[in-house]
Structure 1
Amino acid sequence: MSVYTPLDAPQMTRILAPFGYSLVHYHGASHGIENSTFLIEAKDRQGTPADLVLTVFETLDSNAVRPYLHLLAELARDSQLPVPGPLADDQGHWQITVADKPAVLMPRLPGDHDFAVDEARCGQVGALLARLHQCDPGSLLPLPDERQRLATLSKHLSHLPANQQAPARALLDAWQASPTGRTLIHGDLFRDNLLWQDGHISALLDFYNACLDDPEYDLAVTLNDWCVEPCGKPAPEREQALLSTYQRHGGLFDPGRLKLALAVAALRFWLSRLAGPVANHSEGQGSKDPDEFARIYRWRMKALEPGA
């Protein structure tokens, strides 16, 4: 992920010490746009090598981070989900402070980013989402509301072309007026939030948009990244592979609601990219191209037209 908070080696050494690790090497990761993330090679007190990840939260305060770390700890206990849990320091704390910002240290699960897409990979993603959506959220701390995020992003509708502002407002109003689901969703399952090893998913990352909402919304976010062509047009074979495998593993969704969610999710990420994070001061990829989701949004809105 992009690095907005640079850290030098002495700083990193001090961060690792309370966890019982000594620094060998580290570098900033280049994928993502919201937080500063560092990939670390370290050794524990016995001299055993350890691969770690430090995330410094750029937009969330310590209170906002707390439920996410609790969620990660709960999911990491599930052997069916390859999710890294937060590590505790010598005081038993998951959350630490780095450069006056909340941060967390986690093990780095094996595997690498691989942005290739095909039907087999989309099927694996569908199975993973089905397992996540069947998790019991009853023991979790209250998570932020995606509907509130959408309400905040709606302030940026004025950034859209003038002829698209009214339809976009009507779309958001229709979605916001509908009941909120109670399924645990990832909310950001883009290709850069998975690691792969030997052709299989080895890690599911970045739960900092997770919330309770409709499974159709999570499917829509995922389909809009994994199952579209560069022009924004849906890729039906990949879409079918993801959805059919999702259903075979116990996932349930309403096709009509999914069609609406696909447009809402495309608009959500178009608006968030237009709003722009702290990319002007980052090292790495920074903000992503809004036009990518403008293209996807046009196709998803076309599918909502009568007779489509």
Structure 2
Amino acid sequence: MSVYTPLDSTQMAQVLAPFGFTLVAFRGASHGIENSTFLIDASQGEGNAAALVLTVFESLDNEAVRPYLHLLAELANDPQLPVPGPLTDAQGNWQIRVAGKPAVLMPRLPGDHDFAVDKGRCAQVGTLLARLHQCDTAALLPLPSERERLDSLRHQLTRLPASQQAGARQLLDRWQASPAGRTLIHGDLFRDNLLWKDGRISALLDFYNACLDDPEYDLAVTLNDWCVAPDGKPLPEREQALLEAYQANGGQFDPGRLKQALAVAALRFWLSRLAGPVAEHSEGQGSKDPEEFARIYGWRVRNI
């Protein structure tokens, strides 16, 4: 992910010390745009190697981070979900402060980013989403609402081409007027939020857009990244593989609702990319191209 808050070796060693780790090496991660993320090699005890990840939150305060860390701790206990849970320091804290910002240290699960896509991988993603969507949410702390995030992006509608503003506003109004579901959704399952090892998913990352909402919306976010061509055109074979695996593993969705969600999700990421990165200066990826989702939105909105 992009690095907006650079750290030197002394600072990183100070972060690790309360957890009982000694710094060996670290680097900024290269994918994502919302937070500063560092991949760390460390040692513990009698020289035992430890692979870690430090995330520094750039736009969330202490109270906003808390429910996400609680969610990660819950999901890390599910053997069917490869989710890393937060580590605790000597005082038992999940959340720490780094450079004056909230942060969390987690184990780095095995695997690497791999952006190749085929029907088999789409089926794995569908299976993973089905498992996530069946999680019990009773013990979770209240999570932020995706509907509130969508409302916060409304002012970006004026930056769309004039011919598309009215239709986009009507689409958003219709979606927001419908009641939100109560399914736990990831909300951001793009290809850069999975790790792979030996052709299998080894880690599901970045739950900082997670919330309770419709499963169709989560499917739409995912399909719009995994199952489209470079020109934004949907790829039916990939979509079918993902959705069939989702249903085969207990996931349920309404096809009509999904069509609407596909357009809304495309609009959401078009608007958020128009809003730009969380900071002016960063190391790494920075912001992403809004036109990618302008193209996807064009295809999706015609099929509602």
TM bucket, shorter chain: over 0.9
The equivalent of 1:101 in structure 2 is 101
The residue type paired with residue 17 of structure 2 is A
User: How far apart, CA to CA, are the structure 1 residues paired with 2:153 and 2:98?
Assistant: 28
The equivalent of 1:221 in structure 2 is 221
User: How far apart, CA to CA, are the structure 2 residues paired with 1:44 and 1:241?
Assistant: 43
Matching of residue 31 in structure 1 with residue 31 in structure 2: yes
The equivalent of 1:121 in structure 2 is 121
4+ runs of 1 displaced by more than 4 Å?
A: none
Matching of residue 273 in structure 1 with residue 273 in structure 2: yes
Residue 158 of structure 1: how far off its partner (Å): 0.5
Residue 217 of structure 1: how far off its partner (Å): 0.1
Partner-residue secondary structure (3-state), 1:280: coil
Partner-residue secondary structure (3-state), 2:280: helix
The equivalent of 2:46 in structure 1 is 46
Asked if the contact 1:84/1:109 (under 8 Å) is kept, the reply is yes
Pairwise mapping of residues 1-308 of structure 1 onto structure 2 (< 5 A)?
1-304=1-304
User: How far apart, CA to CA, are the structure 2 residues paired with 1:165 and 1:88?
Assistant: 47
Partner-residue secondary structure (3-state), 1:123: helix
Partner-residue secondary structure (3-state), 2:220: helix
1:213-259 per-position Cα deviation (integer Å, ceiling 9, x unaligned): 00000000000000000000000000000000000000000000000
1:165-190 per-position Cα deviation (integer Å, ceiling 9, x unaligned): 10000000000000110000000000
Partner-residue secondary structure (3-state), 1:88: coil
1:118-169 per-position Cα deviation (integer Å, ceiling 9, x unaligned): 0000000000000000001010000000000000011110110111110000
The residue type paired with residue 293 of structure 1 is F
Asked if the contact 1:33/1:279 (under 8 Å) is kept, the reply is no
Residue 45 of structure 1: how far off its partner (Å): 1.9
The residue type paired with residue 5 of structure 1 is T
User: Please, which moves more after superposition, 177-186 or 277-286?
Assistant: 277-286
Residue 278 of structure 1: how far off its partner (Å): 2.6
User: How far apart, CA to CA, are the structure 1 residues paired with 2:6 and 2:144?
Assistant: 28
Please list every run of 5 or more consecutive structure 1 residues that lacks an aligned counterpart in the other structure. Answer: none
Residue 279 of structure 1: how far off its partner (Å): 4.7
Asked if the contact 1:2/1:282 (under 8 Å) is kept, the reply is yes
Asked if the contact 1:227/1:236 (under 8 Å) is kept, the reply is yes
User: How far apart, CA to CA, are the structure 2 residues paired with 1:178 and 1:284?
Assistant: 38
Query: How well do the aligned residues superpose, as a CA RMSD in angstroms?
Result: 0.5
Please list every run of 5 or more consecutive structure 2 residues that lacks an aligned counterpart in the other structure. Answer: none
Partner-residue secondary structure (3-state), 1:224: helix
User: How far apart, CA to CA, are the structure 1 residues paired with 2:154 and 2:122?
Assistant: 30
1:197-228 per-position Cα deviation (integer Å, ceiling 9, x unaligned): 00000000000000000000000000000000
Partner-residue secondary structure (3-state), 1:122: helix
**Percent of aligned pairs sharing the same letter:** 78
Partner-residue secondary structure (3-state), 2:286: coil
Normalising by structure 1, report the TM-score: 0.98
User: How far apart, CA to CA, are the structure 1 residues paired with 2:77 and 2:2?
Assistant: 29
User: How far apart, CA to CA, are the structure 1 residues paired with 2:85 and 2:46?
Assistant: 22
The residue type paired with residue 123 of structure 1 is A
User: How far apart, CA to CA, are the structure 1 residues paired with 2:86 and 2:46?
Assistant: 21
User: How far apart, CA to CA, are the structure 1 residues paired with 2:56 and 2:295?
Assistant: 32
The residue type paired with residue 149 of structure 1 is R
Partner-residue secondary structure (3-state), 2:302: helix
Residue 46 of structure 1: how far off its partner (Å): 2.4
Residue 280 of structure 1: how far off its partner (Å): 2.6
Residue 41 of structure 1: how far off its partner (Å): 0.2
Normalising by structure 2, report the TM-score: 0.99
The residue type paired with residue 153 of structure 2 is L
